[in-house]
A and B are shown apart, each in its own frame.
Chain A
Amino acid sequence: MAAEATVVGREAAGALVPRRATRIGLRSVALLYLVVLLIVPVGLVFYRAFEPGLGALWSSITTPAAISAFWLTITVTAIAVPLNTVFGVITAIAIVRGRFRGRALLDALIDLPFAVSPVVVGLALVLVYARPGWFGKWFIAHGIPIIFATPGLVLATIFVSLPFVVREVAPVLRELGDESEQAAATLGAGPWQTFSRITLPALRWAIAYGVVLSLARAIGEFGAVSVVSGHIAGQTNTLTLLVEARLDNLDTAGAYAASALLAAIAIVALLAMTLLRPRRELR
């Protein structure tokens, strides 16, 4: 038994591995699960999207409704992700370096959006910013409609993608320690100079990774934006809402085309994550 284990163990970089048959059996079960659940379904959507031909696919994702949905998604993401990045870095620094009352509470609260259903996020925004909501009347009186308008979509997107940058940056910051920062300060660097010359460069890959995660989530958010959008075609429909609208209108081919576009964006994000991961770990 031990001899056998040593033999197969060598194959797997010194780690202990069971008999070949068991190993292949386990591998097959794992692969079968992934193929049935993930690989074949995702592949099929691409197949269905390309089935009517490239021309049909192109015209389906360039209808006025699709183009307006595309730009709305880009606009919302372009506002939400930079805000979350700046906020994320500041919050991470506060959590790791700060010494203030409620720091542990803040640390726990940051993860809240992960535990809250996206529909509940939407509902929460409606209860505060819709006409009968807490501040709804004030905003509408000042000509800033939030619910059923772009600001609501932005707020919903910020909410759901809030934790990503913080969660990527905080551990790196913790591991980094503050020796180099103190050294910089001793050598006469001001706080801003220390931050931009010492801290920020060390965090860049962690920030980049967090931004990719936020981007993927912001582009793909559905539940929360669905509640606050009001589904006004050409005005408040994002790409994900367009997919649902097309499916409701029995435009299956159109829904597949828009889905394939979103899936392609997701795969690009995945690629970026794969490329960034080793850099983030090595720093």
Chain B
Amino acid sequence: MLLPLSAVASNAFNDGLSGFWSEVSSREAVSALTLTLVASLIVTLVNVVFGTLIAWVLVRDRFPGRALLNSLIDLPFALPTVVAGIVLLALYGKTSPIGINIALTQAAIVLALAFVTLPFVVRSVQPVLLELDPEVEEAAASLGAGPAQTFMRVVLPSLGPAIVSGAALSFARAIGEFGSVVLISGNIPFHTQVSSVLIYNQIESDNPTGAAAVSVLLLVIALAVVLALRALGRRSARDGS
């Protein structure tokens, strides 16, 4: 595992530091990276809101079909990413039965990333919410806090670390995602080409050094985000207790 990854790192610097820099600062690479980061950030925020909401509904609400819904949350993990791409293309592509065609747009990338990263925040928040002592919330309510206030002041702070770690995982996954994005985005350079697809194209056009350089950058960002948010999560967990 480490050997192949170190081959990537060493190949990235085949042409020295300046070679690495010129690969990652080419217009195409910068535009792909910007798109990747912005789309991943949007998706992470969407996941924070909807993931927490879905986790709350699954834990605290009671309605028929809840158990089925709970199982379905993991479907994006079980489904091959290329199938995820086809699935979204079927409903939101050019043969859309509802007339919404967003294929080959940046919105399609966000949609694909939202699909594949859906379970992360839900699955990290859910167990914490289950363990949460309802007495604290009841105490807040009996002291006169409204439901919204109870949620903001009591529930949300205890969910913080779980939300953060789920967000970190979904961001790391989003910036590396390939299968679902490659089908629906059309890979138009400077418009809908994300970094992972750029790497793929570089490999296909026999530029392994360029591919390795962009890969190293992507790897460093993913690791930095996961480590930073983990540290943050640990600190807020300590402050909270």
Name the contact of B82 in the complex, choosing from A120, A127, A222, A273 (C-beta under 8 A): A222
* Chain B nearest Cβ from A200, distance in angstroms: 25
B61, A37: Cβ atoms closer than 8 Å: no
Sample (10) of A-B pairs whose CB atoms are under 8 Å apart: A15-B59, A37-B115, A44-B97, A114-B172, A120-B218, A123-B215, A223-B178, A262-B80, A266-B83, A271-B71
Most A C-beta atoms less than 10 A away, residue of B86, B141, B195: B86
In the complex, B13 has a CB within 8 A of chain A? no
B222, A116: Cβ atoms closer than 8 Å: yes
* Bound-state Cα–Cα, A5 to B146, Å: 9
Known: A29-B53, A222-B179, A270-B71. 13 other contacts (CB 8 A): A1-B146, A18-B148, A37-B115, A44-B97, A112-B5, A120-B196, A127-B212, A222-B178, A223-B81, A252-B95, A256-B86, A259-B87, A266-B83
A15, B137: Cβ atoms closer than 8 Å: yes
* Bound-state Cα–Cα, A1 to B82, Å: 50
Residues of A within 8 A of B90 (CB): 41, 44-45, 48, 256
Residues of A within 8 A of B50 (CB): 30, 33
B72, A116: Cβ atoms closer than 8 Å: no
Point out residues on B near A: beta carbons under 8 Å.
1-5, 7-8, 11, 50, 53-54, 56-57, 59-63, 69, 71-83, 86-88, 90-92, 95, 97, 111, 114-115, 118, 134, 137-138, 141-142, 144, 146-148, 150-151, 169, 172-173, 175-179, 182-183, 195-197, 199-200, 203, 208, 211-212, 215, 218-219, 222-223, 226
Nearest neighbor of B179 in chain A, beta-carbon distance? A222
Residues of B within 8 A of A5 (CB): 138, 141, 147
In the complex, A109 has a CB within 8 A of chain B? yes
Residues of A within 8 A of B79 (CB): 42, 220, 262-263, 266
A22, B147: Cβ atoms closer than 8 Å: yes
Residues of B within 8 A of A153 (CB): none
Most A C-beta atoms less than 10 A away, residue of B50, B80, B175, B199: B80
